[in-house]
Amino acid sequence: MSDAIFVFHGLFPDVVQSNHQSIAQILFDIEFEDHLHSHYLADIEQIKPDEFEVRCQLPIDCPGFPQAALDYYQYAIGPQKNTISHSGPKGASVATHNVIRAQWSTRLEAKALS
């Protein structure tokens, strides 16, 4: 296995899907084997009070990604969230008024899809 670098950029904490279900979405990039895969979104759904499901179609096989996505989610909404920008340099995001912008990166084992 090789290493992939995941760079998380932002969290959209309350996206409502067509079935009226509220989820969080995370925006991130992946650097793997000299290729940059950018602007991927992962959905995080809270199933039970302490149980979450992470959904994303990655361009690589990375078993550690769901836990890394949850770690980022906890980072962005945790006690330190007041030190994180909730808007862009020129005010609130055009896409949504509640994007949480926080860059966080991690290195995970991954392999190319076969």
pLDDT in tens, 80-103: 555 455 554 444 444 545 788 889
Residue type, 7: V
In the three-class reduction of DSSP (H, G, I as helix; E, B as strand; rest coil), residue 40 is classed as strand
Burial 45-80 (b: 16+ CB within 10 A, else e): eeeeeeebebebebebebeebbebbbebbebbeeee
Within 10 angstroms of residue 11's Cβ, the number of other Cβ atoms is 27
User: How would residue 13 be classed by pLDDT, with cut points 50, 70 and 90?
Assistant: confident
